[in-house]
Every structure is written in C-alpha cells, then in structure tokens.
Amino acid sequence: MFFIDKLDLKKEQEFLIVGLFEDEGLAFNGSELENSDWIGHIQDFISTGDISPQKKEVSIIHTFNKTGPKRLLFVGLGKKQDVTTELIREAFGKACKTLKAKQAATGAIYLDSFATENFDAKRLAHIFAEALALSTYTFNGYKTNKKEQSKLESITIYTDLAPESLKDDLNSGYVYGTATNSARTLVNTPANFLTATDLANYAIRLAEKYGFAVEILEKADCEKLGMGAFLAVNQGSDQPPKLIVLKYQGKQEWKDVIGLVGKGITFDTGGYSLKPRDGMVGMKTDMGGAAAVLGAMEIIGERKPKQNVLAVIPATDNMVSGKAFKPDDVITSLSGKTIEVLNTDAEGRLVLADAVTYAKQLGANYLIDVATLTGGVIVALGSDKTGAMTNNEDLYTKVFVASKQTDEMIWQLPITEKDKEKVRNSKIADLNNSPSREGHAIMGGAFIGEFAEDTPWVHLDIAGTSVVKANTDLCPAGATGVMVRTLATFVNEF
C-alpha cells in the first residue's frame, strides 16, 4: 500500500499531493526539479490565486507531461503557525477523497511539504495513513445494482527521512483508521443482520485473529449469575442476549486492568416507553459503544501495547412483547442493588449496570464505559462533542489527553451529590432508572456511577457523535466510529 522514497519528480504518478502554506508559497526543499521554468509557472498560479493556500482548499493542475506526476494536487493549509492536528488530518482526508473521486489507482504525497515545527514527517505519516483510511471508507449496503468502487492501490510517500523510520508510523495510522472503519461498518449494519448473536460471533472472530481470551455468557449463564438488569431489557425479545467478554493480557500478571465497557443494544424500540416513529428510525446505531470497544480491541490486537485490557459488552435488543419489562417493575441487578423502572427507554444504563459490575468482578481496576446513552447529551452539547462524566479526575485527564490527540472532542459534565440523590430516590427500591428529563445526560451517568462505585471510572456518552448526517472530510454520512481511536490511544499511553 505504502512506498517510501526521496522526492523524484521524474517518477510517473497519477497525482502528487503537495501542501501549501499561505506564508511560504511553493517549496520543494532544494530538490532538483526537471523543469525550473515550469515550477515558476506554478508560482505564478499561486500569486494569481489560481492555486489557493487557504485552509483545505484543493487545487489541481495538469502538468502536461512536463514532469512525472500527471497532476499536482495542492492542499491549502493556511498560516503555518495556525496549523493543528485537526486541520492536517482533514486536509489529508480531503486530498484522499479527491483522489478517490478521480478514480486514481496510484498517487503520491510530498509529506515534507506539510511539515512545521510541531509536525515532523513521522507524526505526519501516522496522521496521513489514518486520514487515508477514514476518508475513503464506504459502506456498500445492500443495493442490487451496486457500482464497482475504484480502489487506490498504492501511495508513494516522498520524504527526506529514511524509509525505515516511517514504516511503523504509517502502519499504526492505517490500523487506527481501518479499525475505526470496522466499527463504522458494525454501526451501519441493519439490526436484522446484526443481532446480539452476530455481535458475539464478530467478537469471537476478533479473538481468534488476535489471540484474545473470549467468554460469551448465554442467557442461562446470566440468570445463574443474577444479571437481572441486563436480562430485564432482553425480556421482550425473541433474540437471546449475549454478554461478550474479551481479555488482552499485555503484562505478565493480570493487574492494573483497564476495563472497556460498551453498550450493545442492537435495536432500541424504547420498549413499553415506546419511541415515536421518527425517533425509532436509526436505532440500529444504539450499539455504537460496543462497536467502539471492538474497534479499539482491533487496534490493541494489532499494536500489542504492554497493558492489560478487559472488554465487556452487554448485547441485546430492547423490544416490545407480552414478556417485555414494564414501567413500575422492580429488578435486581448483578450487584444486588434493586432498581425501580420508570422508563423502559432508559435501558442502556440498565445493561451497563450489570456489565460494569461484571467487569469489576473480573478484575478491572479502571473503567471506561462508552454508550449512545441519552438524547439529552445532544441537547446539552450538540452533535460534535461527546459528553463525559467521572468519579476520578486523574483517570478523566488521561482520557481527555487521548481525545485531544485524536481530535475526538469530549466535554466533562458534573455529577453532584444532588444528582446522586435523584437516582437514589425511590420509595420501593435502591435506585430508579430515570429521575427526570432535567439533566437527562447527567442522570444517566450518575446511575452508571452507582455501579462503578469507588473504582476509577469515566463515562462517555456518544449519542451525538456516533453518527453524522452529512459527508465530512473524514467520514461519509452515517456511523463515525467515534472513540475507537481515543480508547486505543488511552490504552497505549496509560
């Protein structure tokens, strides 16, 4: 896929991608050019505005066989001092999408032309490979008259660095991107093709590929253990529940275990607290947390960090039938705590309650749960920020730093003692699962926190960030695979 070489404008390529800063013009770092007059013409195009250095502006110039590449694809980067990882990643993404739209089979990028004091070629290599995978992703779907998708077969990376120094960065970036795409595909898959059993089978295949220990708890296993909260959500379904467990041991001893818990509701009708018609469309994506955890485990399997990681995914759908759980029911969780059900559409926190408890029983010393939990987080933060809550600021800081590196923005919401009191306010049980619509996202987090207890824990509500409605530079409309890269970065640097 990737070839690394010194810049050579005599080599044939369909496209050569070049970065262009507002305050620098065209610079090839002293490389010998085949035709200096031709390069002068390019400088003229820049000065007249035919080639733009404005942020993420793409300009394509045909070389008329005056040099090896048939076309030069310039990407504007704005002012050098203003460049961020987000801008670089999106600029790379826009360039790669352009190559795909032009049905290019081969391409090249002059990586050094994107370099700044803060971004050397090694860092740029990871970001470029990641952006290449993210931006060219498509979900093929189920149309019978599918068009053949063109595929970019190879990219040559031009840099002054030695090839060996970039190989690992390119590989890691591409792994991060493709694992995120794996999560996107899971979320984009319709619920009739992705039941709890299908999700469990996917996890088993992942375990076989990477040597993870795997455990799939069946309904009878969950009943024996007393997972009343998880099983209550499954009551109305004809599909059996699956409690999915993956273990990666990167240390000699099973200690300092990072627990990743992902909500795996494969379809959410809301149960007897039934969603409206329009609100039910798209609920195949309610397993976005599970997909994020599985995507992160794919990166962990590929990169093999020296950490111990436990993944726990409660998988079921939330359906309506004569067997379904109801408002006013009281259920007993795996922890022994009883829960008064006030809203069957607040089911995610119920399955996570038992999953968090089970992760602790299996030795998790730190917990991060990821869930498309509440519409309230979208009201509070919009669709570009993941809501975060925690009982441990040190752990949260590490997650936040990882999210900054991946540009998957998170924003912390508070959990106060009054919030906890609301969750504990029931005349007939220890907890209630839906105190009010006020602070709805916080109520969901506070409920899960009752089961994390004293274990350091971070809750990530991705209800707003798990899908996008329109195409972006890095993602087509649909699932984003959000938090895959953040979780993997967190594990790698923990």
The span from the first CA to the last CA of the chain, in angstroms, equals 30
In sequence order, which ranges of 189-254 are alpha helices (DSSP H)?
Answer: 196-210, 219-225, 228-234
Residue of 55, 66, 123, 275 marked catalytic: 275
Cα–Cα distance measured from residue 292 to residue 175, given in angstroms and rounded to the nearest whole number: 14
Within 10 Å of residue 74's Cβ, how many Cβ atoms?
24
Alpha carbon separation from 72 to 55, 115, 136 (Å, rounded): 17, 18, 19
Angular region, 103: left φ>0, alpha ψ -120 to 50, beta rest? left
Contact 268, 283 (CB under 8 A): yes
d(CA 427, CA 98): 60
Beta bridge partners of residue 74, listed in sequence order: 18, 59
What gap in Å lies between CA 28 and CA 5, rounded to an integer?
Answer: 14
User: In 3-state terms, what secondary structure has residue 25?
Assistant: strand
How does DSSP assign 100-169, residue by residue? HHTT-SEEEEEGGGG--SS--HHHHHHHHHHHHHHHT----TT-TTPPPPP---EEEEE-SS-THHHHHH
Annotated active-site residue 71? The verdict is no
- Residue 275 annotated as catalytic: yes
Q: How many CB atoms lie within 10 A of CB 160?
A: 13
Residue among 388, 404, 386 at smallest CA distance from 396? 388
In Å, how far from its chain's centre is CA 393?
Answer: 23
H or E element at residue 411: strand 410-412
Q: How far is the C-alpha of 214 from the C-alpha of 179, rounded, in Å? A: 19
Q: Which residue has the tokens 């030795």?
A: 363
Q: What is the CA radius of gyration of the chain?
A: 25
Cα–Cα distance for residue pair 182/188, rounded to 1 Å: 10
Give me the catalytic one of 349, 398, 422, 485: 349
Q: Which residue has the tokens 């595929």?
A: 151
Give the whole-angstrom CA distance, residue 63 versus residue 72.
7
Secondary structure element (H or E) that encloses residue 428, with its range: none
* Cα gap 443→329, rounded to integer Å: 19
The H or E element containing residue 58 is strand 58-62
Catalytic residues: 275, 349
